[in-house]
Amino acid sequence: MGSDRQLPDSINAGADGRFMTTIAARLAAVRDLLEQADYDALVVPRADEYLGEYIPEHKERLRWISGFTGSAGVALVLRDQAALFVDGRYTVQVRTQVPAELFTYHHLVEEPQAQWLAATLPRGARVACDPRLHSLHWYREMESVLAVAGIELVADTDNLVDRCWRDRPEEVCTPALLLDEAFSGECSSAKRQRMARLITARGCDAALIFAPDSVSWLLNIRGTDMPQLPVVQSFAMLDDTGEVTLFVDSRRLPDGFEAHVGEGVRVLSEADASGALGAYATRRVLADARNASAWIQLELSRLDAILVDGEDPVQLAKACKNAVELAGTRNAHCRDAVAEIRFLAWLDAEVDAGRLHDEAQLSDKLLSFRQQAEHFHAVSFSTISAAGANAAMCHYNHLNGVPARLSAGSVYLLDSGGQYTDGTTDITRTVPIGDPGPEVRRLFTLVLKGHIALAQVRFPRGTTGTQLDALARQFLWREGYDYDHGTGHGVGVFLSVHEGPQRISKVHNAVALRPGMIVSNEPGYYRDGAFGIRCENLQVVRECEDSVGETPVLEFETLTLVPFDTRLLDPALMDAAEIDWLNRYHQRVLETIGPLLQGSDKVWLSQATRPV
């Protein structure tokens, strides 16, 4: 997981002084425009116009204006000061990346931006934002908080950062892939009809399909511009007839697109959206105020559409994979397991031979194995390759500084995944380098016990991830430990490695787990300055066929087929049922993946899957 990126040389170049000068110059350029437009402040969010977690290079506006590379944050640029708001993950990082002479640092949650602006600016001030980069909910809230303070929020789509950004990277705009029904399991027109019926059931005439992964799923296309996230950057309107108006840069549509999607898909450029949205005057349009952009919804309102706030129905449909998708992702997981196992076997050999590589070399080596797999496109997220104490930082990225070398008597945490035409993977393994000692083994075992509890639970329909989360934590809790992240997120099939709407965490999530949903199962434990442990597999919800009672129950099938490192186990802490689960899982790994390996890799797997 983790999504920080290395600063390109153009920002990092040279000494800190030149960097600060660069940022100062950029702030000055933007402030000129503020003065010209009589704005008192500009909001620069990290988001792009799709409000997602992963954005293309040429949309890295927050990074351009401040140097900050975290996956969430907002800069407020005033005429004579600037403020950078980040959440708890990045309070250390922001201070290393963003010059304190130019920005003050604030906490996104503890100091809401709207209130800060209301307290800092005088009555009559004007705050500019690009409404394409914020949700409608954010916009309305900011607007009303500022209004109480007599401050105006101005929506300006002529983005001020874009107007100043010299040497801006070119937009990457390559043709999408057309996903064959052998991979999607359902043609686009059938999906559109299904979604149309859901729209009608919600009492609406149409829906804004805003998220690019929703659009990509609906049309069975995959993007190639952002390798980790194979979505086609676009949005669409879906009518209750099943007809789609797709707003996309036509350079992203390959030959054969029309035949692929069939009748009923009209293509327009995003620039033509305003004109087209007028067709929804007096119509009830389902749109997600919290997750879709302000601009589109403000336009729809301005053009007299009736906005009905609600989630895009594609999100839940996409979360429930069909049989073809499940068969495909099982195949992808086999190939991914081969790559991971070959890496783990290689790593053991290297350590035995006294060659202790660094985090970057290890990450690259793992990538090289994945690249040999059929249907592999790219990693599904920036690999977390964390040695020793680095693994205690949940959002560690070895590219942010100098990659550390493995050292004896520690553990190595590796969280990685791949995008394959038939599936998306995400796996974390924790590996001993030499003997990390009994304390690490004790905590590893408590983490694994929690993982096993969540892997083998059965639950009735209607059960949510929130209800299951404690199963993964209970053994850590018993001893006075916990982990400060969620237990499981949804995963797509050759789509986003982080999908909703379901989630397994302490945070209330009302979405019931349904057959076909893929979730991660990733408890962990992190000791500052010492070590980090995480045990992650992906698992899919299915109906249970062999329970005896009258209440139908669901269970999980594990998709990931890679051994957990039994050298880190303290078997005395496990009960018979847990040991049995582990041995049966390892047997399944051996039987499924063994035949796909050769030579020393196969031998390694036999040893790694020996019964405990």
Residues near a copy of itself (CB under 8 A) are 457-460, 462-463, 466-471, 474, 476-482, 506, 508, 510, 544, 547-553, 575-577
The whole-angstrom separation of Cα 474 and Cα 142 is 40
Nearer to a copy of itself, 375 or 506 (CB): 506
Chain position carrying tokens 């969540």: 454
Minimum distance of a copy of itself from residue 430's CB (angstroms): 18
Nearer to a copy of itself, 63 or 473 (CB): 473
Phi, psi of 524 (to 5 degrees): -160, 180
Minimum distance of a copy of itself from residue 380's CB (angstroms): 29
Tell me the HSE value of 18 on the side-chain side, using a 13 A CA sphere. 7
Most distant CA pair in the chain: distance in Å?
74
Minimum distance of a copy of itself from residue 452's CB (angstroms): 13
Nearer to a copy of itself, 536 or 555 (CB): 555
Q: Residue 210 has which token pair?
A: 């805003």
Chain position carrying tokens 């582990």: 582
In sign, the C-alpha dihedral spanning 534, 535, 539, 541 is: negative
Q: Angle, to 10 degrees, between the axis of helix 323-352 and the axis of helix 576-593?
A: 100
Minimum distance of a copy of itself from residue 468's CB (angstroms): 6
Phi, psi of 63 (to 5 degrees): -65, -40
Query: Which stretches does DSSP call E strand in 79-151?
Result: 82-86, 104-107, 126-129
Minimum distance of a copy of itself from residue 113's CB (angstroms): 22
Chain position carrying tokens 């237990």: 487
Minimum distance of a copy of itself from residue 551's CB (angstroms): 5
Q: Residue 576 has which token pair?
A: 């018979």
Minimum distance of a copy of itself from residue 554's CB (angstroms): 9
Minimum distance of a copy of itself from residue 464's CB (angstroms): 8
The residues near 28 (Cβ < 8 Å, ≥ 6 apart) are none
Which DSSP symbol is given to 135? Answer: B
Nearer to a copy of itself, 430 or 456 (CB): 456
Tell me the HSE value of 149 on the side-chain side, using a 13 A CA sphere. 21
Q: Angle, to 10 degrees, between the axis of helix 576-593 and the axis of helix 438-455?
A: 80
Nearer to a copy of itself, 267 or 519 (CB): 519
Whole-number Cα distances in Å, 390 to 401, 404, 417, 422, 425: 11, 8, 19, 33, 23
Three-class SS string for 448-474?
HHHHHHHHCCEEECCCEHHHHHHHHHH
| Of 307, 301, 314, 311, residue with least CA distance to 131 | 301
Nearer to a copy of itself, 130 or 469 (CB): 469
Nearer to a copy of itself, 201 or 577 (CB): 577
Minimum distance of a copy of itself from residue 33's CB (angstroms): 40
Chain position carrying tokens 């099943």: 242
Nearer to a copy of itself, 268 or 470 (CB): 470
Nearer to a copy of itself, 48 or 469 (CB): 469
The whole-angstrom separation of Cα 392 and Cα 532 is 4
Minimum distance of a copy of itself from residue 479's CB (angstroms): 5
The whole-angstrom separation of Cα 90 and Cα 55 is 18
Nearer to a copy of itself, 402 or 507 (CB): 507
